[in-house]
Structures are given as C-alpha cells and as structure tokens.
Structure 1
Amino acid sequence: MSVILILRLILDKKHQVVMETQEEHSRQRRVAEREARRSRRRRARESKNIFGHHDGLSSDDEENQSEISKFVVEKDDIIKGTERLFEDTIDDYSKLDSVRKQFEKWKFRYEDNYREAYIGLCIPKLVNPFIRLALVDWNPLKISVDFEEMEWYNSLILFGCRGEDDITPDRSDEDTRIIPSVIDKIILPKITYLCQHVWDPMSTTQTSRLVNLVQKLVNDYPTVNANNKNTQSLLKAIADRMKKSLDDDVFMPLYPKSVLENRSSGPTVFFHRQLWSCIKLLGNILSWQGILSSSVLQHLSLDGLLNRYIVLGLYSSCLTKEALEKSQAIISTFPKEWFIDLEEDKTLPKLENLCRYLLQVADQLHKSSIMVKDSERLENRNYIKQISKFLILIHATDHAIFLSNTYSFKIGKV
C-alpha cells in the first residue's frame, strides 16, 4: 500500500471522526435547548399557578435557534424579492386597486358591454397574481393577519358597488361571486399546501387555529362545501397528514411495571411524557369533529391511536391516581355526537378495549382495599364510582351496571 493511500485513509478517518463529533455536539445542543424550553414553560406555569399540566402536553419545537434564524433570513430574502416583481409594470396595472378601478369604470360606463364580455368570470383570474403575492407570508398556523383584514379582500369585497348605499347584492351579477371564487381558487389550495407540508398535528395551537379557519370558511363561503373539488382536496390533505403523523411521530415505549414503579427514573418520565403526548394528539384529531366525517375520525383516533398505542400504554402503567386522570382526559376528547344514536346500553365496539381496561382498574382497586385503612378503602370506592361515570359518558351503560351490581353502589348522574 502506497504512502499516499495510507495518508488519504488517515485523513478520511479524521474527517469522519470530526463530522461525528460535530453531529454529537449538535444533538446534545438540541437536547439542552429542548430541556431548557421545557424548564421555562414549567416555571411559567408554576408562577401562574397552572396545575393539571403534564409533560407531553406542550408542543416542543425540535428546531434549534440556528435553524430558526436561517429560516427567518431566507424568508426575508423572499419577501424582499416579491417587492421587485412589478418594478417594470406601469402604475395602472401594478396594484390591485388600480386594476379594480379600471374595470369598475368600464362597468359603470358601459354596463351592458361589461356583462356581455363576462368580465365577472374573468376577474378572479386577473387578480390572482396580486392576491398570491399578498399571501406569500400568510401562515394561519401561526399568529397572522386574518385574510379578511387584508387590503386585497377589502378592495374586492365591494367590487362594482357605486357607493355605500349600493351594497345590496344582485344575485344575477357575476361580480358578487368574486370573493367566493377567490376563496375556492386561491385560499383553499394555499391552506391545502400548508396542511401537507407545514402543519404539525402534534401541535394543539396549530391544530386549533387550522380548525377554526376551516370551520369559518365552511360557515361563511358557499363555495366551500363537500361537493367542491378544492374542498375535497383540503379535507383529504388534513386526513392524510394526521395519518402520517400517526405513522411517523407516535412512539409508545413499553417497560415492565417494575421499571415504571420509580416515578422519577428516566424511562418512567419518558414513558409518561409519550403517553400524555398521545392523549394530546387524540384530542387534536377529534377537534375536527363536524368537519371530517365521524367514520374517518374514528378510524384515525380509535383504530390508529387509542387501541394501537394508548390502551397498551395504560395497561403498562402502574395503578395510580394519574391512571384515572389519563382515562378522564381520554374520554373528554370523545365527541358527544358519537353516542347520541347508539341503541341498547352498549358503547362503540372500538371503545370496548378501553372499557375492559377501566373494569380491570376497578377490580384492582377493590382488591387493594381489603387490607387497608377505612379512609383508603373509601377513597378506592369513590374511584370505582368515578370509573362508572366514565363508562356512562361513553354510553357503556352495561359495564357501569356491572360495576354497580358487583360493588354495591347506585349509579349516580353524570
């Protein structure tokens, strides 16, 4: 082997070691930053006397500060670039207001000719570049200006009106459909893209903002309906993104109960954080009730998350008060609409695994009450009554009656 080849191998090995060292330092820095964020949030909650919070309920951004700074710089470059797009365009056609005024003059002076040319159908395409430009930095997943407060919206909302007294819509006038058309052709595709590439279903804040926006569009704009192609694409993107999150972002470690008995150990802390994170995602998914169909939501939330991960985590947990707290948090996410039309006294078949877990908890509580003080026995009995209330909330009345007969108590009102 030549000396040059040996030197090259040594240099390659040193380069590899340096790269691995840098990668390890970068990983340690991200871990330290993540833990620092958790500590800051914990101190903030303590200062505000916020109780009932658990690790795993807060969305934790994995990006480090250098990546965030890089994104901000690149975004600012793009925004500056957009300011030069109409540099070579004359003033009459470089701004939306100017273009709007040109067509309004045409409509007011030669209305018949304006209608015969079907300008109302052309306007959405003509204003498309201006609106897309205004929406470059619009991200409703973060604190952002409502699109209805933007200049382009205010410019188009009264398009073709001759004055404040002329605001009664004429249904035969195509200009009244400009805003709904813009929502369909521009806003919906923009939101669809954000759902596919930006939205994090694990984030309660982002999910809440997105749900509110989509619900507003459904309620306020006639073009956003189940028969609309772009609406269908948006709803499919939402469901697909949540399914991808279930496949890629959810991990439930399974440890022996002997390991989880030490509440302060690293594996136990990690286990409970992951379990609470799954419960948070369950609530995020079910916040789409009323927008996505119940069948889709039940498949994602119950098949893909509850029975696949959460119930297994509950069975692995030690029997503590927190186990009931987790159960209550899970049941509180279920939409009441699911249980309205159920017949007999049985709950949804997909919730039977959760019911069996609750029955097992009740049995363990009863057995642990045999050789304890009266105060602890009474506390365990109250926990069993609480479990019966959980079962009634999900329409599992047959199981609640079983507990009532087995442990001799009356089923109270929920």
Structure 2
Amino acid sequence: MPWFRAVEEFSDAKKSSESKRDDDHDEEVLPRVLEKTVLPKITAFVKNVWDPLSTSQTENLVQLCNKVFEKQVQSKSECSRTKQDLINMVVLRMKKSIEEDVFIPLYPKSAVEDKSSPCAEFQERRFWSAVKLLSNVLLWDGIVQEDTVRDLGLSKLLNRYLLLNLRNTAPGPDNIEKCKEVVACFPQRWFRDLGSGSTLPELLSFCQHVLQCARVLHRNNRSGETEEAVLLLVKVKALRTAEQLIEEYKLEQLKSVIRR
C-alpha cells in the first residue's frame, strides 16, 4: 500500500544517511507503525475470522506474519507485547480447533470393513480432516515456539486422536499410507540434530505403531509395505527401531539408508 511504501522509504533513507545520529529513532517508525496498527488488526482477524482447518487461510496468515515480523527484526519492537498477543491468539485458536473441530468416531471393525459403508466413509473423512489440521498447526513452526507447536500437533492431536484411529485400522497398506501422510506433515528440522538413534519423545507411541504394522505386513508377505514402514522410522530418526526390523527380517538392502 502507498502508506507502507512511504514509511518504508523514510526508514530506509534514515538507515543509509551518513548524518544519522545514534539517538535518531526515525528508523523505528515502520516497526512502531506495524506494532500499533497492523498487528492488532491481524490479531482481530485471527480471533474472529481465521479457520485453522483451512490450509489456504493458514498458509496466507503464516506468510503475512513472517513478512511483518521480518520488518521488526533488529528493532526494539521485535519482542513487543502486541506481537506476543498475536502469537498467543494463534495458539488459542488452534487449541480451540483441536478441542472442538476434531472428532474421529471409533466404530467396531465389522462396521468399517466395507470401505464403502457410511460408517467407514464418515470415519475416513474425519481422519483426513484431522490430518489437515495437523499439517496446518505444524506450519506455525518457526513462528510459534517449537515446544508449543509440538504439544499441540503431536501430543494433543496425533497421540490423542489420530493414533487412536490408526490403531483401530487393520495394519495393511492403507494404514501405512496414512502413516506416510502424517509423517509428511512433520518439519524436517526437528530431526536433524537428534542423537542416540531415538526419535522425539512425542513420537514414541507412533513409532511403536509403525513397528507393529511392519511385523504384521511381513507376516502377510507384504515386503514392499514392510520396507516403507522401515523408511518411515528412518525419516523420524527412530533408527534403533528401524535397525531392529532390518536385522529381524534380513532387509539387507535397507542397511545403507541407516548409515546416511
């Protein structure tokens, strides 16, 4: 917008000015304007308009927050109260969405064996809606504190809802496909510096489920899906569990994956 460009040009001119004084606060004008006018407006949109289940809305909101916060870098406004109010509202809305929008019914296995039955179709729709919310929650990694994102996405959503559904689904190819979509949501930076061959504490139950699926698939001579299960464990750095399966089932071709 014209007003933004005008203020930005004014601030940039002050930064490059040779006569700039140490006590000159003119270059703080843009961050202050953002703090006083833009951040409260975004916070109101988050509170009253944003739907955490909408991927397009979430992606746009994350992109907007990144751009606004970038303008506050190296500014006294960087850790301002209004910025924290916005982040707190984002967390509050995600918590509310997890508590109120997520519902995955657990029917008897006999009721969902037929994939075209109303029960099976409804359960599938609710599961994938929850996966979509998981993906949207994890988009906030890097803006919202990592511990908070992991608590919302992994502890409250994955372990409380999604994993329950996965355990109630027959451990076949469909189950592994669901696990792959869940893992695709995780930010890869979470796993870069993990040592000791173990995954994140919040993913231990999920990895145990993948392990059990792999064993059932191997017994049913589904070698392709068994290997996919091992690769999922490697992707989340559950290397000891992956090595256990490789040794147990003589999957020599996967040993090189562990060593990377």
TM-score by length of 1: 0.57
Query: For the Cα contact (< 8 Å) 2:11–2:29, is it kept in 1?
Result: no
* Pick aligned residue for 2:195 from 322, 337, 343: 343
Query: For the Cα contact (< 8 Å) 1:339–1:395, is it kept in 2?
Result: yes
1:181 paired residue number: 32
**Does the alignment pair 1:309 with 2:154?**
no
Cα distance change of structure 1 residues 213 and 367 upon mapping to structure 2, 3 Å threshold? same
> Aligned-pair distance for 1:289?
1.0
> Aligned-pair distance for 1:350?
1.2
> Aligned-pair distance for 1:152?
2.2
1:204 paired residue number: 55
* Pick aligned residue for 1:288 from 140, 145, 158: 140
Q: Could you report, residue by residue, the CA deviation over 1:182-231 in whole angstroms, capped at 9, with x for unpaired residues? A: 10111111111111111111110000001111111222333486521111
| Identity within the alignment, % | 35
TM-score by length of 2: 0.89
Unaligned runs of 5+ in 1: 1-149, 370-379
Which secondary structure state, in structure 2, belongs to the residue aligned with residue 341 of structure 1? coil
Quote the Cα distance in structure 1 between the aligned partners of 2:79 and 2:175: 44
The one-letter amino acid paired with 1:397 is L
The one-letter amino acid paired with 1:405 is E
Query: For the Cα contact (< 8 Å) 1:192–1:233, is it kept in 2?
Result: yes
Quote the Cα distance in structure 2 between the aligned partners of 1:304 and 1:226: 29
1:120 paired residue number: none
2:109 paired residue number: 257
Quote the Cα distance in structure 2 between the aligned partners of 1:203 and 1:304: 19
**Does the alignment pair 1:190 with 2:41?**
yes
* Pick aligned residue for 1:382 from 224, 248, 255: 224
**Does the alignment pair 1:364 with 2:216?**
yes
Range moving further from structure 2, 229-238 or 332-341: 332-341
1:274 paired residue number: 126
Quote the Cα distance in structure 1 between the aligned partners of 2:174 and 2:56: 24
- Larger-Rg structure: 1
Quote the Cα distance in structure 2 between the aligned partners of 1:335 and 1:401: 23
Quote the Cα distance in structure 1 between the aligned partners of 2:151 and 2:78: 20
Query: For the Cα contact (< 8 Å) 1:260–1:267, is it kept in 2?
Result: yes
> Aligned-pair distance for 1:166?
8.9
The one-letter amino acid paired with 1:179 is L
**Does the alignment pair 1:408 with 2:250?**
yes
The one-letter amino acid paired with 2:124 is H
The two structures, once aligned, show a CA RMSD in angstroms of 2.2
> Aligned-pair distance for 1:360?
1.3
Quote the Cα distance in structure 2 between the aligned partners of 1:286 and 1:265: 32
Q: Could you report, residue by residue, the CA deviation over 1:99-157 in whole angstroms, capped at 9, with x for unpaired residues? A: xxxxxxxxxxxxxxxxxxxxxxxxxxxxxxxxxxxxxxxxxxxxxxxxxxx23223433
Aligned residue runs from structure 1 range 106-121, under 5 A: none
The one-letter amino acid paired with 2:66 is Q
Higher relative contact order (CA 8 A, sep 6+): 2
**Does the alignment pair 1:397 with 2:239?**
yes
The one-letter amino acid paired with 1:396 is A
Cα distance change of structure 1 residues 240 and 224 upon mapping to structure 2, 3 Å threshold? farther
> Aligned-pair distance for 1:335?
1.5
Range moving further from structure 2, 380-389 or 360-369: 360-369
Cα distance change of structure 1 residues 327 and 152 upon mapping to structure 2, 3 Å threshold? same
The one-letter amino acid paired with 1:235 is I
Query: For the Cα contact (< 8 Å) 1:196–1:241, is it kept in 2?
Result: yes
